[in-house]
Chain A
Amino acid sequence: MASSSSSGLTFKLHPLVIVNISDHYTRVKSQSLPTQAAPNSADASSLPPAPPPRVFGCVIGVQRGRTVEIFNSFELLYDPSAHSLDRAFLEKKQELYKKVFPNFYILGWYSTGSDAQESDMVIHKALMDINESPVYVLLNPSINPAQKDLPITIYESELHVIDGIPQLIFVRSSYTIETVEAERISVDHVAHLKPSDGGSAATQWDIPCENSLLRQVSSLLRRLPAIESEKFQDDFLMEYNDTLLITYLAMFTNCTSTMNELVDKFNTAYDRHSRRGGRTAFI
C-alpha cells in the first residue's frame, strides 16, 4: 500500500498541525481512560490492552503550484457506523475558518494509528468532492525511543492497476517541516510547559540495541592495542580530563544557579529588611 508517491508534489507541514493532532489524541485518550477498568499490575498480563482510540480531523492550508503547505487543522467527529466523517459539521467549520483565513482550503484529513487502513480509503474518497486529491496525515501515537524521525506520515492517493483492477491506494509522500518564527517560539513554549522529566525516557524503557553504534565501539576497541604509545596516552588523558572538567564546570554552573534562586527565595521569605523591589532585571 505504501510505495513512494510520483505526483511530484512537495509537502510542507507546520508544527502546529502536529501539536494539534497529538493534543487531540491525548485528550481523547485521557478522557476515555475511566471507562476502561484500570487493570492493576496483577491483571495487566491477562487483560489485553484496549486499542488506542483513533481521532479524526481535517487539515487546511494552501496549495501553490506544486507546493502544498499544511498550516492548521481542526477536529471532526467520526461516525463508525457509516464509516464517514460528520459532513454537516465539517462544512460549518469550513465556513468559519474561511472567514478568518480566506486563503486556506481543506487539503485533506488526519488520523492516528500505526498504519493506514483499508477503511481509511472510504473517508478519503468521501473528501474527494471538496479536494480532488486530498492528503492523509497519519500520526503514530506509540512512543518508540528507537525511532529518530517524527512519527508522521503523509499519504496521497493514486490510481494503480492491481490484478487488472484499477484501484485507489495510499502512497507515501515525503514532507518537510516548515515554520514561521512566531510559530516556532510558541510551539517551543508549549513543549516546555510539560514538567521536565527528561530522565524518564532513558529510565523507563531499555534503550534498544543500536547495532551500528555497537559496531563502531567494537572496531574502536579492536584498534586500541595498536595505539599503545605514550603520545596517545598523553593526548587521550588530556582530552578526557578536558571533557571531565567541562562537565564539572557545567554542573557547577547549574548548582550555582539553583543556589542563587534558593538564596533569593530565602531572603524574600525570612530576611526582614531585604531589598525592596525584589528581583532586578537581568541585563
Chain B
Amino acid sequence: MNLNMSSAESLVAQIQGLSGNLADLTQLRNYLKQSDDSLHLESTRLAPLLNELDPSLHSLGYLYILEACTSGPIAKEQANEFVLLVSRFMNVCAAEHIRLASDKFISLCKRFKDQVMLLEDPMRGVAPMLAALRKLQTSTEQLTTLHPDFLLLCLLSKCYKTGLSILGDDIFEIDQPRDLFLYCYYGGMICIGQKFRKALELLHNVVTAPMPIISAIAVEAYKKYILVSLIHLGQFSTSFPKYTSSAAQRNLKNFSQPYLELVNSYSTGKVSELEMCVQTNKDKFESDKNLGLVKQVVSSMYKRNIQRLTQTYLTLSLQDIANTVQLNSPKEAEMHVLQMIQEGEIYATINQKDGMVRFLEDPEQYKTCEMIERIDSSIQRIMMLSKKLSTMNEMMSCDPSYLGKVGRERQRFDFDDFDTVPSKFNI
C-alpha cells in the first residue's frame, strides 16, 4: 500500500477523529498497527503530517508517525531537531494514549536517550525522560523500562536530586526483570555520597535479585556493595542472605577477590594495613572505576576507630585520639570529631581550652510528640507492607511450580512429627 496524498490525508483525518475516547482509541490503534509497515516505508514523507496533528490531543497517532519517520538512521545534523521534537512530545503527550502503544513509546524514548548521549548533553534528556516515565507508569509502584535510562541520564548529567526523587518510590511491580538490575545499580550509584543507606539497600537488591545465571551487573554491584558497606556500616559480612540466588552465591566472590582482601584488612582496624592493601590492588580498583570509593573507605576507617573509642572512654584528649586512631595531629583529630558530630555519627562535646573531648549518650529520650508521629507513620507503612506480603505469600502457595516441587521434597518423617513452634502469630 503506497501512502499517497489522499491516504495521508485520510490517515490524519482518522487520527484526528478517533482520538476522543478509549473505545475510539482502541480502534485507532488497530488501524495504525495495520498501517505501521506502510508508514515505515514512507518514513521520509511523514514529517509534514506531524504538523497537522497536536501531540497532546492526538498522542497515539502522533507517536506512530513520529516513530515511523525517525526509525531510520539519524544524521548528526538532524540529531538536534530530533531531540527537540521528541522531547516536546514526551513532555506533552497524553498518558492514556501512549499506554496503548507502550512498546513504540519505549523504543522512541530509548532512541531519544541514545541521541542525547551522542550529543553529549545528557541534561537535556532528564526532564523529558522523567515526564515520559511518569506517564508510562500506571502507578508509582511500577518499574518501567524507562527507569534505568532516566537514572543513567541523571548520573551522566550529575542531576542527582532529580534521580533521588524517583528513587524514593517503593517498587512493587516490574515490567521486565532486567530493568531491575540496571535500575538498582544506577540508583545505588546516584545515592552514594548523599544517602549511603539507600545506596546500600539498592545495591543489596541487585546482588540478591533472582538470577538464573550470574549477571555482570550483579558482579559490579557486588564490588560497590562491599565498598559502600565498609563506608557506611564499618563491616561487611561475606555470607549471603538465604533469598540470594544460588548462581550469585557461588560466583560473586570469585570476581571480587581484591575487594574481599580489602574487607579483611579493614577488619584489622589498622589504617596502615588498609593502605597497603589499597596500594597492592590499586590497578584493579582503578580499572573498575572504584578508586574514589576506595579512598572513601580509607577515610571512613578513622571514623570507625573514633566511634570505637566512644565505647571505651568518657573523655579523651585530642592528642590521645590522634595517637590511637593514627592521625597526624590533634588538629586533624579535632576536624574529624567535629565532622562526625555535625553528621550525627557520634554525640560529643569538644572543650577547646584543654583539648578534651567528652563523649555523650544519645540525647533522644523518646518522649516527644514528633517521635510518636514518626513511629506511627512507620507502623502505617509496615501495615501496608504486611498486607502486600500476605497476598504474595498466598499467591506463592498457589503457584504450580511451587506446588509441584513441594510434593517431591517431602521428608521421610511427616512434618507433624517434629515439635515445631507455630510459625505464624495472628495479630
Interface residues of B in 352-381 (CB under 8 A from A): 365-369, 371-372, 375-376, 378-379
Chain A, residues 185-216, CB within 8 Å of chain B (1/0): the string is: 00000000000101000000000000000000
Stretch at the interface among A29-37, A219-227, A258-266: A258-266
Chain A residue nearest to B210 (CB atoms) is A270
Residue-wise interface mask of B (384-427) relative to A, using a CB-CB cutoff of 8 A (1 in contact, 0 not): 01100110110011010110011001110001001111011111
Give the residues in chain B near A266, CB-CB below 8 Å: 210, 243, 396, 402
Residues on B with beta carbons closer than 8 Å to the beta carbon of A276: 409
In the complex, the chain B residue whose C-beta lies closest to that of A245 is B375
How far is it, in angstroms, between the C-alpha of A233 and the C-alpha of B427 when the chains are bound?
30
**Quick one: CB contact mask for A31-57 with B, threshold 8 Å, 1 for yes?**
000000000000000000000000000
Out of B365, B379, B383, B393, which one reaches A258, CB within 8 Å? B393
User: Which of A259, A271, A281 has the most B CB atoms < 10 Å from its CB?
Assistant: A271
- For A77, the chain B residues whose CB sits under 8 A away are none
Which chain B residue has the least Cβ–Cβ distance from A250? B427
B382, B383, B402, B423: which contacts A265 (Cβ < 8 A)?
B402
How long is the Cα–Cα vector from A252 to B378 in the complex, in angstroms? 10
User: For the complex, what is the distance from the CA of A263 to the CA of B396, rounded to whole Å?
Assistant: 10
What chain B residues lie within 8 Å of A273 (beta carbons)? 246
CB-nearest residue of chain B relative to A273?
B246
Residues of B11-54 contacting chain A, CB below 8 A = none
Could you tell me if A282 and B379 are in contact, using CB atoms closer than 8 angstroms? no
Complex CA distance for A278 and B427, rounded to whole angstroms: 28
Q: Which of A60-68, A110-118, A235-243 contacts B (4 or more CB under 8 A)?
A: A235-243
Partner of A244, one of B375, B383, B392, B423: B375
Interchain CA distance A43-B411 in the complex, whole Å: 54
**B386 engages A237 (CB within 8 Å):** no
A261 near B393 with CB under 8 A, answer: yes
A282, B421: Cβ atoms closer than 8 Å: yes
Known: A240-B372, A251-B379. A281 touches B420 (CB 8 A): yes
In the docked arrangement, what's the CA distance between A267 and B247, Å? Answer: 12
Asked if A265 contacts B425 (CB within 8 A), the reply is no
Question: How distant is A7 from chain B, measured CB to nearest CB, in Å?
Answer: 43
Which residue of chain B lies nearest to A263 when distances are taken between CB atoms in the complex? Answer: B243
**Are A237 and B390 within 8 A (Cβ)?**
no
Chain A residues lying within 8 Å of B246, measured Cβ to Cβ, are 271-274
Measured between beta carbons, the chain A residues less than 8 angstroms from B418 are 281-282
Task: Tell me the dominant secondary structure on chain A's binding face.
Answer: helix
Could you tell me if B385 and A257 are in contact, using CB atoms closer than 8 angstroms? no
On whether the beta carbons of A237 and B372 are closer than 8 Å, the reply is yes
Indicate which residue in A198, A240, A255, A270 contacts B382 across the interface (CB closer than 8 Å). Answer: A255
Q: Given the complex of chains A and B, what is the CA–CA distance between A271 and B409 in angstroms?
A: 13
Say whether B375 contacts A255, CB under 8 Å.
Answer: no
Interface string of B168-185 (1 = CB under 8 A from A): 000000000000000000
A268 on interface, CB distance cutoff 8 Å: yes
Chain A: minimal CB distance from B7 (Å): 50
A244 contacts B243, C-beta separation under 8 Å: no
- CB < 8 Å neighbour of B420 from A198, A248, A282: A282
Write the nearest CB–CB distance from B210 to chain A, whole angstroms: 7
Asked if residues B396 and A248 are in contact (CB atoms below 8 Å), the reply is no
* Residue A103 is within 8 A (CB to CB) of chain B in the complex: no
Tell me if A149 counts as interface (CB < 8 A to partner B): no
A266 nearest CB across to chain B (Å): 6
Chain B residues near A259 (CB, 8 Å)?
389
Min C-beta distance of B315 to chain A, whole Å: 28
With A238-B365, A254-B386, A258-B386 as known contacts, state yes or no: A268 contacts B378, CB within 8 Å. Answer: no
**B264 interface residue per 8 A CB criterion:** no
Q: A273-B246, A278-B411 are in contact. Are A254 and B372 (CB under 8 A)?
A: no
> What is the distance, in angstroms, from A250's C-beta to the closest C-beta of chain B?
6
A277 located at the interface, meaning its Cβ lies under 8 Å from any Cβ of chain B in the complex:
yes
Chain B residues, Cβ within 8 Å of A257: 423-425
Is A247 engaged at the interface, CB distance under 8 Å to the other chain? yes
Indicate whether A143 reaches chain B with its CB closer than 8 angstroms.
no
Q: Evaluate whether A268 and B405 lie within 8 angstroms (CB atoms) in the complex, with A255-B385, A259-B389, A262-B392 already known.
A: yes
A254:B427 contact, CB within 8 angstroms: yes
Q: Bound complex: CA of A196 vs CA of B382, how far in Å?
A: 21
List residues of chain B with CB within 8 A of the CB of A265.
Answer: 393, 396-397, 399, 402, 406
- In whole Å, how far is A240's beta carbon from the nearest beta carbon of chain B? 6
> How far does the alpha carbon of A116 sit from the alpha carbon of B385 in the complex, in Å?
50
Residue of A at shortest CB range from B406? A268
Is A146 interfacial (CB 8 A cutoff)?
no
Task: Chain A residues near B212: list those with CB within 8 A.
Answer: 272
CB-CB under 8 A from A247, the residues of chain B are: 379
Decide if A234 is an interface residue (CB 8 Å cutoff).
yes
- Specify the chain A residue showing the minimal Cβ separation from B418: A281
Residues in B whose Cβ lies below 8 Å from that of A26? none
Q: Please pick, from B371, B376, B390, B409, the residue contacting A268 in the complex, using a CB distance under 8 A.
A: B409
- Are A255 and B389 neighbours in the complex by a CB distance under 8 Å? yes
In the bound complex, residues from chain B placing their C-beta under 8 Å from that of A198 are: 426
Q: Which of B85-115 contact A (CB under 8 A)?
A: none
B243: contacting residue among A258, A267, A282, CB under 8 A: A267
Indicate whether B307 reaches chain A with its CB closer than 8 angstroms. no
Q: A238 contacts B424, CB within 8 Å?
A: no
A161 at interface by CB-CB < 8 Å: no
Q: Show the binding face of A for B, using Cβ within 8 Å.
A: 196, 198, 233-234, 237-238, 240-242, 244-245, 247-248, 250-255, 257-259, 261-263, 265-274, 276-279, 281-282
Which residues of chain B have a CB within 8 Å of any CB of chain A? 210, 212, 242-243, 245-246, 365-369, 371-372, 375-376, 378-379, 382-383, 385-386, 389-390, 392-393, 396-397, 399, 401-402, 405-406, 409-411, 415, 418-421, 423-427
Listed by A's residue number, 15 A-B pairs whose Cβ atoms lie within 8 Å are: A233-B367, A238-B366, A238-B367, A241-B366, A241-B372, A254-B425, A261-B424, A265-B393, A265-B396, A265-B402, A267-B242, A268-B402, A269-B402, A278-B410, A281-B420
The 4 closest A-B pairs by CB, nearest first: A269-B402, A237-B367, A238-B367, A281-B418
- Give me 4 other A-B pairs in contact (C-beta within 8 A), A248-B378, A274-B246, A282-B418 excluded: A269-B401, A269-B405, A278-B406, A282-B421
